[in-house]
């Protein structure tokens, strides 16, 4: 999926910044998928609440949400974790209120959240799991969108991780007895929400096979929070993180 506007560039930088400073914000909990937490409002495809998955423990504290691109009809012959196959791109676009998605098949979920005056970021933890690695891989991707009712207020869907940018981060999963062989480890991402009017919204998070219905990928998501303005010391760290991200991107392009 290609960037759609300049807002996406700002979102990508702000999101990547939080990879370097995941715990510096005073935040309001949205959900950690724990018993008693607010429920998601819907899911599509292979989607389920998990505890520890393939040796990967939930960061907050015992449960996390898994979505995958696995379908039992695909050539890799994997079985969906939830028992429900990934859905085709057309069905996933319908699930996300008609948002355009440039993929083949995948899964997603919706969770409500509230923006109040002074809120700056919507943050969450994720772990990107995949069997895409090395020469000839297909660029599976994780994305988000924000809705007010059924109206997309985030100018489309935006990637926050993909197989291409994840290659240098991937390592073996702790427990190989499962569908995925590689993962990025726990990461944090932040979506700017300061421009949104105070009120109720819905966050959608999804995963898709990009160009080929093979070599499945997935996302573990946890600890969704609405974060207030960062402290000055954190701002300095986030700027350093953004500079490092740009340098890494340029080095990858020049390779």
- pLDDT per residue as tens digits for the range 152-166: 999 999 999 999 999
The residue with greater pLDDT, 46 or 16, is 46
Q: Where does the pLDDT of residue 85 fall: very low under 50, low under 70, confident under 90, or very high at 90 and above?
A: very high
Whether the CB-CB separation of 47 and 82 falls below 8 Å is answered with: yes
Please state, in angstroms and rounded to a whole number, the distance separating the CA atoms of residues 173 and 126: 14
- Per-residue pLDDT tens digits for 123-142: 999 999 999 998 778 999 99
Q: Where does the pLDDT of residue 23 fall: very low under 50, low under 70, confident under 90, or very high at 90 and above?
A: very low
Whether the CB-CB separation of 185 and 169 falls below 8 Å is answered with: yes
List of E strands, 59-186:
64-68, 87-88, 105-115, 121-130, 141-148, 151-152, 158-162, 171-172, 182-183
Measured between alpha carbons, how far apart are the two ends of the chain, in Å? 21
> Which structure tokens are listed for 53?
């998955």
Q: What are the chain's domains?
A: 6-254 (2.60.120.260)
> Does this model's pTM top 0.85?
no
Query: Looking at residue 254, what is its pLDDT?
Result: 56
146-to-6, 26, 183, 197, 210 alpha-carbon distances in Å: 17, 21, 26, 13, 21
Q: Which residue has the tokens 């109040």?
A: 116
Q: Is the pLDDT of residue 200 over 80?
A: yes
- Per-residue pLDDT tens digits for 71-83: 999 989 999 999 9
Q: Environment class of residue 181 by beta-carbon count within 10 Å: exposed (0-12), middle (13-18) or buried (19+)? A: middle
């Amino acid at each position: 999926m290609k960037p759609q506007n300049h807002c996406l560039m700002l979102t990508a930088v702000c999101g990547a910044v939080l990879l370097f400073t995941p715990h510096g914000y005073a935040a309001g909990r949205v959900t950690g998928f724990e018993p008693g937490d607010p429920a998601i409002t819907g899911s599509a495809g292979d989607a389920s609440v998990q505890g520890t998955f393939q040796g990967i423990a939930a960061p907050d504290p015992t449960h996390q949400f898994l979505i995958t691109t696995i379908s039992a009809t695909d050539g890799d012959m994997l079985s969906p974790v939830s028992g429900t196959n990934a859905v085709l791109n057309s069905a996933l676009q319908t699930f996300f209120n008609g948002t355009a998605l440039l993929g083949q098949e995948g899964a997603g979920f919706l969770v409500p959240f509230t923006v109040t005056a002074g809120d700056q970021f919507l943050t969450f933890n994720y772990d990107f799991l995949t069997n895409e690695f090395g020469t000839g891989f297909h660029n599976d991707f994780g994305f988000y969108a924000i809705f007010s009712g059924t109206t997309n207020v985030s100018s489309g869907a935006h990637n926050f991780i993909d197989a291409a940018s994840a290659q240098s981060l991937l390592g073996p999963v702790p427990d190989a007895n499962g569908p995925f062989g590689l993962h990025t480890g726990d990461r944090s991402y932040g979506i700017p929400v300061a421009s949104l009017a105070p009120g109720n919204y819905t966050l959608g998070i999804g995963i898709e096979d990009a160009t080929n219905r093979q070599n499945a990928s997935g996302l573990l998501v946890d600890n969704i929070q609405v974060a207030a303005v960062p402290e000055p010391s954190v701002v300095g760290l986030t700027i350093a993180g953004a500079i490092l991200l740009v340098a890494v991107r340029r080095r990858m392009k020049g390779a």
